[in-house]
Structure 1
Amino acid sequence: MMLKNAKLYGQEGTWNIEVLNGKIEKINHSSNTSEGNYDHQIIDLEGKLVLPPFVEPHIHLDYVLTAGTPRWNQSGTLFEGIQCWSERKLVVKETKEDIKNRALKALEMQLKHGIQHVRTHVDITDPSLMGLKALLEVKEEVKSWMDLQLVAFPQEGIYAYPKGDELLEEALIMGADVVGAIPHYEMTREDGVQSVKKALELAYKYGKMVDVHCDEIDDEQSRFLEVVAAEAYKLGIGELVTASHTTAMGSYNDAYTYKLFKLLKQSKINFVALPKANLHLQGRFDSYPNRRGITRVKELLESNINVCFGLDSIMDPWYPLGDGNLMRVVEVGLHACHMTGYNDIVTALNLITTNGAKTLNMQAEYGIKEGNKANFIVLDTNSEYEAIRCQPAVLYSIRNGEIIVETKPAETKMNIPVFS
């Protein structure tokens, strides 16, 4: 395969990308390359934007498409969402195949929108560990078209749920890739601190990554992030550790935050912000002014701390919408974080590409460069700025040199005199 006249993300001019045996053989400037006797498929992109596949760093595939059963989350709060899920587990006798079918539907949505790498949290506060068993099978079944990382996520707490710590370790032995925790949901601050320490100890023991649902609350006194960062720093595994949500940081006072940022930089941990989900969930206990409920994305990026964006949910008890489109997440996130300066806009796709790849610890094999796997997507635009402004379709999603998704954009005809 050869892609002619590609506009590579973040670079000037147009380029030709030659693919051989599923890998990127050559990348040359269009003006310096001749087709010669090239006998493989040739696609002239006419300046369309090419970039690495999108990375979804935070989704809950075992929860997708369950909103409204057994009831809707009327308050829109995180805590009612958890309660709805607990009730659902009692009344819905779901099979492993049910979970797999819902997860596969969501993965197809994500694939359509240019995603080829997904980290999903899987609830392990269930003695049967059915969700994990289902997602382990899904991971194997989709590996030809999607990379899937599984987080062993104790939704109802490592210590708040009976034998939650034992289930967490069992999940890691079964094959989960990442250790999860939710310290702000534990019964006491002491239990929350201990849950973080337990998660990182298990990660160190089993050679796993860590992804903590951390301080997803508007309480300015919820400060488990400092515990995550400090423990990661002490163990020397910060680049393998992620703090997701951290919405309480939006309520911290600046004096404390100044001190905290020094630790965050030292620790080298990653951050996942979930703009759409947390705009929906947070600020529910405020009157006015009503908090945005998003972590300090702009300040973290300015401090060279890795941050990426994720969707979090597709129609579940915590978020009633969602279709797997990360471009929409970026657009909403830029507004919510006051990141609508030109430079913020033209580099915004980093939040769902390279930054996400770093969070998933896959940056060594990720990106459009010679020798890498021929995994990339093509957007229907020739400009990074227009990609954010116009939300273009993903024309092609290519994996190992094969087109796995192709989209033909709709055509609009204006039937009025001035446009005829």
Structure 2
Amino acid sequence: MTLESDLVVRNATVPDRREPTTVVVSDGRIESITTESDDAGADGVPDVNGDELTTIDADGGLVAGGFVDPHVHLDKAYVAPDLPPNESGTLAEAIASIHERKADYTREDVRDRAIRAIEAHVRNGCTRIRTHVDVDTIGGLTPLEGVVAAREACADVADVEIVAFPQEGIEQDEGTADLLERALASGADLIGGMPDNERTDADRRAHVDVCLDLAGCYDVGVDMHVDETDDPAARSLEYLAAEVIDRGFDRSVTAGHTCALAAYDDPHAARVIDLVAEAGLSVITNPPTNLVLQGRHDAHPKRRGITRVDELVEAGVTVAAGQDCLLDGFYPYGRASMLETALLTAHAAQLTTAAERRLAWAFVTENAASILGVEHGIEPGNPATFNVFSSDVGSRHEALRRGGPPRWVVHEGVVVAETEVESTVGLGC
């Protein structure tokens, strides 16, 4: 059989296939996946043609679906050098520290930093990104305009989805509700929220209501920062879940962070998790940031600062993990590496068995893709968005353990990044 193709990857190690595999790509999608034992051709692989055929010899390296970052803040990326230091290391000081800088944002400033962050993601094998972008009366729509411009500039190498994020509140930041509507008409794809940044419980509930009302009116999904706090009295997650059920809300709803779950007593946490599962909410945990922000003022033993990952998974909730922050007022680190994010999640949630390591990988691949509603994986017909690792990385576990970038990054059938393999010859060790 002869196939017309744009790209062929030979001698690949594909998860759950024991033989060297050939992946054939045509028109941005995976055309076929064959092994030496398949009836493909005289030499055990399909014959392929193409006017501009690209051929990659994986030399036994892992080929797996591309990484997905379901939760990051591109508008804030790399802004830390311009901010006063967060001396307390708390979420509240981080939010306050960025106010003056945000008021001085320009479209070009945000665009350039966001492009830098997108490119860093791509080099690390992540070409699908969901970003939260501040929409409030401090920065207006400037952060959104900058990220939209970055999205357009990087459209050939990455898909970027934008959440209009009222970080400063809605009830306490008068005018933000109107700005959120304008954001949806100016490039935002989803409605976000942060009910914990309101003064009273009534205002927090009203915040959730506004977000759901806007999502219903504009027929978009919801992705909110929910209970990103150590406070065991925080109740936004259960209110959100109950409202989704009571309204019969039929659009995607995602709850990010949900740190307060870790502060609840076990019986109450179980009730809330059951409610989350019943409502069909997805949950995104963000260990890179929450491990350093949450529990800072606990006496020992300190809480880990992340949500109850294991119990949510056990309840059937779709869980993913996000980078969240990149060198901003909230987090002084961050490499736009979903392998690093998965590894931090594995450490924080104590994911060490073979099945648990596979779960850590899923948090930044198929689970995250499911939340974004995109096809994922090395299967015929799927978008050809995948990573090809070097020959000494033959499994997902080895990729996770080593943490280095892929050798080749393929997005919709096109090689968008290539990393030279560092030689270990002559190191003497």
What are the within-5 Å matches in structure 2 for residues 239-250 of structure 1? 240-250=252-262
- Give 1:288 deviation, angstroms: 1.6
Measure the CA separation in 2 of the matches of 1:100 and 1:134.
4
Is 2:119 aligned against 1:113? no
- Give 1:386 deviation, angstroms: 1.5
Counterpart code for 1:95: T
Alignment partner, residue 371 of structure 1: 381
Is 2:68 aligned against 1:55? yes
Measure the CA separation in 1 of the matches of 2:366 and 2:209.
29
Alignment partner, residue 292 of structure 1: 304
Is 2:399 aligned against 1:393? no
Q: Is the 8 A contact 2:365 2:376 kept in 1?
A: no
Is 2:38 aligned against 1:25? no
**Alignment partner of 1:89: what SS?**
helix
State how many pairs are aligned.
413
Counterpart code for 2:379: K
Q: 2:105 aligns with which of 94, 106, 112?
A: 94
- Give 1:409 deviation, angstroms: 2.0
**Alignment partner of 1:242: what SS?**
strand
With over 3 angstroms needed to count, the CA separation of the structure-2 counterparts of 1:17 and 1:291, relative to structure 1, is same
Q: 1:214 aligns with which of 200, 223, 226?
A: 226
Q: Is the 8 A contact 2:58 2:389 kept in 1?
A: no
Runs of 4+ in 1 over 4 A off after TM superposition: none
Measure the CA separation in 1 of the matches of 2:386 and 2:234.
40
Alignment partner, residue 4 of structure 2: none
Matched-pair identity in %: 36
Alignment partner, residue 265 of structure 2: 253
Q: 2:13 aligns with which of 4, 7, 10?
A: 7
Alignment partner, residue 65 of structure 1: 78
CA displacement 1:248-273 (0-9 Å, x = unmatched): 10111111122122211111111110
Measure the CA separation in 1 of the matches of 2:46 and 2:83.
62
With over 3 angstroms needed to count, the CA separation of the structure-2 counterparts of 1:213 and 1:374, relative to structure 1, is same
Higher helix share: 1
Alignment partner, residue 188 of structure 1: 200
Cα RMSD for the two superposed structures: 1.7
What are the within-5 Å matches in structure 2 for residues 147-166 of structure 1? 147-166=159-178
With over 3 angstroms needed to count, the CA separation of the structure-2 counterparts of 1:72 and 1:382, relative to structure 1, is same
| More deviation, 392-401/321-330 | 392-401
- Give 1:141 deviation, angstroms: 2.2
Counterpart code for 2:37: S
Measure the CA separation in 1 of the matches of 2:241 and 2:373.
17
- Give 1:31 deviation, angstroms: 2.5
- Give 1:175 deviation, angstroms: 2.7
- Give 1:58 deviation, angstroms: 0.7
Q: Is the 8 A contact 2:77 2:325 kept in 1?
A: yes
Measure the CA separation in 1 of the matches of 2:46 and 2:213.
57
Is 2:370 aligned against 1:358? yes
Measure the CA separation in 2 of the matches of 1:360 and 1:401.
20
- Ranges in structure 1 where 5+ consecutive residues have no aligned partner: none
Q: Is the 8 A contact 2:164 2:192 kept in 1?
A: yes
- Give 1:38 deviation, angstroms: 2.8
Measure the CA separation in 1 of the matches of 2:327 and 2:297.
22
What are the within-5 Å matches in structure 2 for residues 134-153 of structure 1? 134-153=146-165
Structure-2-length-normalised TM-score:
0.92
Measure the CA separation in 1 of the matches of 2:296 and 2:280.
32
- Ranges in structure 2 where 5+ consecutive residues have no aligned partner: 1-6
CA displacement 1:338-362 (0-9 Å, x = unmatched): 2112221134211101110111122
Alignment partner, residue 291 of structure 2: 279
**Alignment partner of 1:38: what SS?**
strand
Counterpart code for 1:110: H
Measure the CA separation in 1 of the matches of 2:71 and 2:307.
15
- Give 1:43 deviation, angstroms: 2.1
CA displacement 1:309-351 (0-9 Å, x = unmatched): 1011110010011110111111111111121122211342111
